[in-house]
A and B are shown apart, each in its own frame.
Chain A
Amino acid sequence: DQQVKQNSPSLSVQEGRISILNCDYTNSMFDYFLWYKKYPAEGPTFLISISSIKDKNEDGRFTVFLNKSAKHLSLHIVPSQPGDSAVYFCAAISSGSARQLTFGSGTQLTVLP
């Protein structure tokens, strides 16, 4: 049973436009959420996170939105750049889990020049 779901395996966006990556979760105990970016042949690198007590966190071109009632979060990238092309993983931590990450299956973002 997948507790963190990324239903879109891939997404293509034109350079300069907005990229929106979505993530749904089922475990109500999740209280911290992270997005990781992964380039080929590299490990996942941390991008941005959000605590369940917030509904938005912004860092430069990246904004994460959390809708707890819908158990849904999204990552917005504005404006998208070709260097943003990578696999994006949504991950969640449940309280008391010693920071154990539960990952989604990832979304391949391709930003077209």
Chain B
Amino acid sequence: EAGVVQSPRYKIIEKKQPVAFWCNPISGHNTLYWYRQNLGQGPELLIRYENEEAVDDSQLPKDRFSAERLKGVDSTLKIQPAELGDSAVYLCASRVGTGNSGANVLTFGAGSRLTVL
């Protein structure tokens, strides 16, 4: 079974530029998560999708971040414009089930490392 696929793996941009990250979850995984991991810290949730619906985006900085999950499969996370503090690893994860049902374990992708200069 293919895992969670993310691209690009690395991205270096100058501040104020836009950037987008793409995630392909495991087939059949209804719930998709975007996490951000700052250096020396654990991942923190940005947004959670159940199928194509964003059901928890309370931690997403909506002034510059946006996300979508068209057709309930692939997802993109966009930052526009990027700031120096956005440098981090952006992790996508997925699991079977939605809400409080289904698997407890999330499967993570390898992440997209963003460096903003």
Contacts and interface: CB of A to CB of B under 8 A. Distances in A.
Interface in B36-94: 40-45, 48, 50, 55-56, 91, 93
Interface string A85-113: 00001010101111111011110000000
B114 to A, nearest CB: 14
Contacts of A95: 100
Interface residues of A, number: 26
Nearest to B89: A43
A49 B105 contact: yes
Contacts of A98: 31, 48, 50, 55-56, 98-100
A101 B95 CA distance: 12
| B interface secondary structure, majority | loop
B110 interface: yes
| Max chain A C-beta neighbours (<10 A), residue from B42, B43, B56, B93 | B42
Contacts of B91: 43-44
Interface residues of B, number: 31
Given A34-B105, A99-B31, A99-B104, A44 B43 contact: yes
The 8 closest A-B pairs by CB, nearest first: A103-B42, A43-B108, A43-B110, A46-B105, A44-B108, A43-B109, A98-B99, A105-B42
Given A41-B110, A43-B109, A99-B103, 8 more contacts: A36-B108, A42-B111, A96-B100, A99-B104, A100-B45, A101-B45, A106-B41, A106-B42
